[in-house]
Amino acid sequence: MRELLKHYIDGQWVESEGGRRYEVINPATEEACAAITLGSEADVDKAVAAAKRAFETYSQTTIEERAALLTRIIAEYKKRIPDFAAVISEEMGSPISFAGTAQTGAGISYLLGSLEALDGFHWEEPIAGVNARIVYEPVGVVAAITPWNWPLNQICAKIAPCILAGNTVILKPSEECPSNAAIFAEVLDAAGVPPGVFNLVQGDGLGVGVALTKHVDVDMVSFTGSTRAGIQIAKNAADTVKRVHQELGGKSPNLVLEDADFAANLPATLSGVIANTGQSCIAPTRLLVPAARKAEAEAFVRDYFAAVKVASPTEEGGHIGPVVNKAQWTKIQSLIEKSIEEGASLLQGGPGLPDSVNRGYYIRPTVFSDVTPDMTIFHEETFGPVATITTYTDIDDAIELANRTNYGLSATVTGDPEAAKAVVGKLRAGLVAVNQWGGVKGGAFGGYKQSGNGREGGRHGLKDFMEVKTIVNA
**pLDDT tens digit string along 19-75?**
999 999 999 999 999 999 999 999 999 999 999 999 999 999 999 999 999 999 999
Q: What is the tens place of the pLDDT at every residue in 109-122?
A: 999 999 999 998 99
Question: What pLDDT sits at residue 474?
Answer: 87
For 437, the enclosing helix (H) or strand (E) is: none
Q: What is the mean pLDDT of residues 199-225?
A: 98
Are residue 38 and residue 176 in the same domain, yes or no?
yes
The total domain count for the chain is: 2
Residue 247 bears catalytic tag? yes
Are residue 461 and residue 363 in the same domain, yes or no?
no
Q: Has residue 446 been placed in a domain?
A: no
Residue 281 bears catalytic tag? yes
Q: Has residue 101 been placed in a domain?
A: yes
β-bridge pairing 20-26 and 31-38: antiparallel
Q: What is the C-alpha separation between 298 and 288, in angstroms, rounded?
A: 11
Q: Is pLDDT at 333 greater than 90 in this prediction?
A: yes
Q: What is the mean pLDDT of residues 327-338?
A: 98
Question: What pLDDT sits at residue 352?
Answer: 97
Average pLDDT, the chain: 97
Question: What pLDDT sits at residue 369?
Answer: 98
Q: What is the tens place of the pLDDT at every residue in 225-281?
A: 999 999 999 999 999 999 999 999 999 999 999 999 999 999 999 999 999 999 999
Q: Has residue 223 been placed in a domain?
A: yes
Are residue 308 and residue 401 in the same domain, yes or no?
yes
Are residue 69 and residue 145 in the same domain, yes or no?
yes
Are residue 431 and residue 468 in the same domain, yes or no?
no
Q: What is the tens place of the pLDDT at every residue in 411-470?
A: 999 999 999 999 999 999 999 999 999 999 999 999 999 999 999 999 999 999 999 999
Are residue 232 and residue 259 in the same domain, yes or no?
no
Instruction: Say what percent of the chain tops pLDDT 90.
Output: 99
In 16-150, which residue ranges form alpha helices assigned H by DSSP? 41-58, 63-79, 81-92, 96-98, 104-116
Instruction: Say what percent of the chain tops pLDDT 70.
Output: 100
Most distant pair of Cα atoms in the chain: their distance = 77
Q: What is the C-alpha separation between 181 and 110, in angstroms, rounded?
A: 15
For residue 165, the enclosing domain spans 2-248+451-472
Q: Has residue 205 been placed in a domain?
A: yes
Q: What is the tens place of the pLDDT at every residue in 156-198?
A: 999 999 999 999 999 999 999 999 999 999 999 999 999 999 9
Cβ count near 447 (within 10 Å) = 27
Are residue 278 and residue 171 in the same domain, yes or no?
no
Q: What is the CATH number of the domain that holds 276?
A: 3.40.309.10
Are residue 226 and residue 84 in the same domain, yes or no?
yes
**Of the listed 41, 175, 247, 456, which one is catalytic?**
247
Q: Determine contact, residues 272/412, Cβ cutoff 8 Å.
A: yes
For 136, the enclosing helix (H) or strand (E) is: strand 132-138
Question: What pLDDT sits at residue 66?
Answer: 98
Beta-strand (E) ranges in 299-369? 345-348, 366-369
Q: Determine contact, residues 465/167, Cβ cutoff 8 Å.
A: yes
Q: Has residue 374 been placed in a domain?
A: yes
pLDDT band at 356 (very low <50, low <70, confident <90, very high): confident
Are residue 318 and residue 420 in the same domain, yes or no?
yes
Are residue 193 and residue 299 in the same domain, yes or no?
no
Are residue 265 and residue 177 in the same domain, yes or no?
no
Q: Has residue 353 been placed in a domain?
A: yes
Q: Has residue 213 been placed in a domain?
A: yes
**Of the listed 175, 281, 298, 381, which one is catalytic?**
281
Are residue 218 and residue 92 in the same domain, yes or no?
yes
Angle at 279 between CA 273 and CA 281, to 5 degrees: 85
